[in-house]
Chains A and B, each alone.
Chain A
């Protein structure tokens, strides 16, 4: 066949679907111009051969024809031949793969060197040889080749395929998705593609499963890293991953997230440190990276280095300690940061600030960090939260405007002082009836005469709830917003002056803050006239009296404002003065149109500092002045009037909402009255009240209704929460929650609810405390039946009275006679006689002839700490047999089963459990203790995990023995695990509050401390025991004598190391507990 015609060829393909011939025809015309006749014949021949290979291989042939025009263009015939050949070969094995091959070809032939094309085809063929499901792989390979080759060289592609093959060894599916992912991800990585590939290839040795995961996150991860640092970042990841045991995708995600929080230019430094850190200990690199954003919030980049170096030094000495250091869990890390940082964190000074505010205002002021996102624009006083007798002062979480700690602290102080000044100098105390001290009364004359139906007082629930005075005041103005802005500025004038007078010590810092605030004010000359006038007031309040830009035609008004504001700088000015000033200023400013002022009209104005006494103007004079000012402004009119916008807040002042404050205090008042009657305001009612109360101001533009809604909800919450009594907390056993399973995860905890306490925990491997590591919740024990108490006493009647008698013997005999004293209440007859005899016989008599009565005082306080762990559910007689089981399983799930099975045992029991004996001993002891009057408290503890240490109050130290206490004892029952450390530390806190000469902490337990996460792999027991030991040592350091009593016969081995030089006792026979405990107490305390 030297020459073929189209018709002949079509003939051969007749039996296949029409599409094939259509494809042939199209290709024919495109190809015939390039190929010689001979070549044409060969070309068609391959197509036919392909089509004939198998049932559906005609589809491959169709793709062959479709791809041909491009292939013929790009490939010399010799390569074209090979191209066809390989297609045929593929079709022989898999028509689908062959189709994919041909479909991909047009793009490939354009990118690859002609001689690489067969190579490319061959790889596909090789992949197919991989056995079952390898067709998928081959097809996928051809499909993605085009995309991949656009970013990879052919040899890199080969490399990638090599990796894929490595994966395919284990899982073909994994390999296929790896391939698809690469084609999606790699093109987006651009210049980092190569580093990424080398990272992945380094993974393939051991962690092949992670390759796909890496690809999934790598794109996103790299996007967060500064561009020029990306390849270094990847090689860092590679180095960390090299050592194995690292979850690389998670590493990528977390570390890049951390970097993403940092400024781009810092990345290079951070990565430098990470690099060298990875050479010391690759395992801490992630912790380090994750910690950096937190650290960088407090220190500068140079200081970061110091922090880092300290960490490395620790790491080299003590890997555990170093790890905790970089995680930010160790106290050392905190210390270093605290020393380094110049910023002041609110958390550290909160208590001081709270007391400071309390001292200034005599109110309970809460200090709260306002959220960072609110820092911009919004103020941080939300005094609206001032319910009860307190207020909240909102401060930013960190003060770091200045280069040193003192100045930053001072800044906090200024902010707090200003906010508290509202309370201290009664900004919220505005009363319509009180006279101003500096101004004549204008407001009462402006008040509209109340008509009969004028709803000045609203009837709620049959009782009048009037508008707050300040609302009535703002109601006087047409533009409530303008009036409010003026009032705010004017009141700030008053307060800032007052603060400076009352607190000269803070004056300098205050001026500094004001100066800073000035720098952030908008430029006067860019504001329309009316806003400029309000801004002018704010400048006055910030003590700027010079170099102010004022529009020429309003110069007179500006001077009038200055004159009106100045009298407020008097220690006697009241909030009513601010109100009077507001009226006068409003009258001036409301006449100023809010229009742009041409540049050339602005002139610099100076307002003299010296005080000329304000002569209270008569009405006529005032009206005269107003008229003059108006005339001076007459020539205006060319500019366009703009809607008035409130000026931005002064950053340190925050929001000032006098009217809401008054409404709230009215609400509070009515709440209190209703509370006395047992009623509460319903939510709806309050919302209505507030909405109405809010009206005079909020009917104007500019208040975001959503925000108001939120506020109302908050308020409802606030009032509501104070309405409900702080009832007894229901004690429930903690349901198993898998989310708690993230053992070891997370750092320091935070207190989220009341009656919670945070305690450090000792980690002996890092030889340091893990700060704020355990969250302990104090709860009242729920109450059971008080007959339990009496029944127990009856049951042990003989023993009870015996013990009681013994205790009575310990009672101090009131007064003890001390004989032969130099000085005393009475003469001692014997001594006197002796002295007389001595004297008569010529020797000098002893002077010690008196008897003194010394009061023997017993001053003992003791806390009993009861282990309420699940293991106390142990039946006593079986305890020997089951002793081994007391080691709880480590796996959380198993642990819960273990717990449940244990607790289940207690449901119906005819036998005594350990806890029962503990309780009985307590009853006997209480009975006896009451006779000697020692202060004592009884607490139980249990819990699950470090965030769930429950501390049950059975009898608080200050509490008297009541029926409630007796009922609580009944409820003592086995719960969960034993984390002794925090319970001991909390008990110490309790004892610390007592003033007793001798203090004891008696710990009654049935076994070693154990809890989920109270351990690290392999060293469970040591960790818990070390922490408990340190807790006991702390106890002793506080002058409290700890004593451990255990019924665990194995107790000797760990108690010896736990208590070493402290007192402990292992009870050989648990039945002796009720007898032994009181006896022990006696011997300890006498």
Chain B
């Protein structure tokens, strides 16, 4: 995307994934998603951080846009001519994210007000995949929008303008959430979660994870395997001093550091141990595992 000294800017609804993202399927998730997309079934991605949820959505957005896709586009009109992929609208949810942030608002421009569509409204109009990352972080009033969009109605009401938008056939809502760390307060309501097909993401098996690390970081196969092993061992500490196991992302960071000449033990310390926890004892234990695995 970004060249050396220029940058490219897109209108949000026009951003498409141009290059095929690297994604290594662990199970039947690709197939499941394709069917879900074709059947306009909203998808909930569950899983701890760094297990590839976002990458998966990117990958699917790219894959679904390609004409060779096996999915029968029964209900889609062929409006997606200019890109080779389904537009992807990723919205990172935070605790101050309100419904208006999603739908849109009036702006003052000169002597007039002008309505500005929010990302959700744009996605609904162009038929994009709207990916709400960490949805439980968003304010509760967002559910008002999510609900009508994710059942048979597929409608986005815009109260301020007195409008209702019918979603484009290609629109799909995808939520991600991490069931682990949020408090009971931040759990997803049943009325919400029962509108989605849910897919669980967990750390891939070591061999696959090693391949991923190797591909993403450029580290050697043996280093990648060792990193995957480290990942497996560290994940054993979940709930034993660690709130979350280590995600693949961190292992990839470690791989990149090693690949660029940082000593393996040190690389793992900064990319894994220190990134994961502040508890000194747990840090020490992880360091010891690292010391055992790496010379």
Contacts and interface: CB of A to CB of B under 8 A. Distances in A.
Nearest to B264: A505
A392 to B, nearest CB: 16
B236 A502 contact: no
B236 A505 contact: no
Contacts of B292: 360, 413, 417, 503, 505-506
B294 A504 contact: yes
A228 interface: no
A832 B108 contact: yes
Interface stretch (A349-357, A872-880, A883-891, A902-910): A349-357
Contacts of B108: 827, 832, 835, 849
B293 interface: yes
A104 B229 CA distance: 88
B291 A506 contact: yes
Nearest to B265: A505
Contact of A836 (B111, B236, B284, B290): B111
Contacts of B98: 825, 853
A507 interface: yes
Interface of A: 351-356, 358-362, 364, 413, 417, 502-507, 824-827, 832, 835-836, 839, 849, 853-855, 995
A172 B265 CA distance: 79
Given A362-B236, A826-B106, A836-B111, A355 B293 contact: no
B100 A855 contact: no
A826 B107 CA distance: 8
A824 B108 CA distance: 11
Q: Which 8 A-B pairs have the closest CB atoms?
A: A355-B285, A503-B292, A362-B236, A825-B100, A506-B292, A359-B233, A352-B284, A505-B292
Interface string B235-248: 01100110000000
Nearest to B285: A355
A352 B237 CA distance: 11
Interface in B127-184: 139, 160, 183
Where chain A touches its partner, the secondary structure class is helix
Most chain B Cβ neighbours within 10 Å, of A417, A506, A824, A832: A506
Contacts of B105: 824-826
B289 to A, nearest CB: 5
B295 interface: yes
Given A356-B285, A826-B160, 10 more contacts: A355-B237, A355-B241, A358-B285, A359-B237, A505-B265, A505-B292, A505-B294, A507-B295, A825-B98, A835-B108
B181 to A, nearest CB: 10
A851 to B, nearest CB: 11
Contact of B289 (A351, A359, A836, A995): A359
B236 A855 contact: no
Contacts of A854: 96
B257 interface: no
A359 B236 contact: yes
A855 B96 contact: yes
B295 A356 contact: no
A417 B95 CA distance: 44
B106 A855 contact: no
Nearest to A417: B292
Contacts of B281: 351-352, 355
B44 interface: no
Contacts of B240: 355, 358, 364
A832 B100 CA distance: 19
Interface of B: 95-96, 98, 100, 105-106, 108, 111, 113, 139, 160, 183, 226, 229, 233-234, 236-237, 240-241, 265, 281-282, 284-286, 288-295
Most chain B Cβ neighbours within 10 Å, of A359, A417, A835: A359
A355 B291 contact: no
A413 B237 contact: no
Contacts of B106: 826-827
Contacts of B284: 352
A556 B240 CA distance: 52
Given A835-B108, A855-B139, A358 B290 contact: no
Contact of B288 (A356, A502, A825): A356
Nearest to A840: B111
Contact of B290 (A505, A507, A827, A853): A505
B229 A502 contact: yes
A360 B286 CA distance: 10
B113 A827 contact: yes
Given A360-B236, A835-B108, A849-B108, A503 B293 contact: yes
Nearest to A361: B236
19 contacts: A352-B285, A356-B288, A358-B240, A359-B234, A359-B285, A359-B286, A359-B289, A364-B240, A504-B293, A505-B291, A505-B292, A505-B293, A824-B105, A825-B98, A827-B113, A853-B98, A855-B95, A855-B139, A995-B183
Most chain A Cβ neighbours within 10 Å, of B108, B229, B290: B108
Contacts of A362: 236
A530 to B, nearest CB: 37
Given A827-B113, A835-B108, A853-B98, A356 B293 contact: no
Contacts of A353: 285
B100 A356 contact: no
A388 to B, nearest CB: 15
A364 B160 CA distance: 57
B279 to A, nearest CB: 10
Nearest to B160: A826
A821 to B, nearest CB: 12
A825 B100 CA distance: 6
Nearest to B96: A855
A853 B281 CA distance: 43
A482 to B, nearest CB: 34
Contacts of A356: 285, 288-289
B95 A360 contact: no
Contacts of B111: 836, 839
A301 to B, nearest CB: 30
A358 B237 contact: yes
A929 to B, nearest CB: 16
Contacts of B236: 358-362
Given A505-B291, A505-B292, A849-B108, A360 B233 contact: yes
A832 B229 CA distance: 61
A827 B229 CA distance: 55
Most chain B Cβ neighbours within 10 Å, of A354, A355, A362, A839: A355
Nearest to A935: B183
Nearest to A836: B111
Nearest to A506: B292
A499 to B, nearest CB: 9
A759 to B, nearest CB: 18
Nearest to A831: B108
A413 B96 contact: no
Contacts of B295: 504-505, 507
Nearest to B139: A855
A352 B293 contact: no
Contacts of A853: 98
Nearest to B113: A827
Contacts of B226: 504
A824 B289 CA distance: 49
A359 B238 CA distance: 9
A835 B108 CA distance: 10
B73 to A, nearest CB: 37
Contacts of B241: 355
Contacts of A413: 288, 292
Nearest to B185: A933
A413 B292 CA distance: 9
A505 B230 CA distance: 12
B131 to A, nearest CB: 23
A402 to B, nearest CB: 16
B124 to A, nearest CB: 19
Contacts of A358: 236-237, 240, 285
Nearest to B283: A352
A832 B110 CA distance: 11
Nearest to A994: B183
Contacts of A359: 233-234, 236-237, 285-286, 289
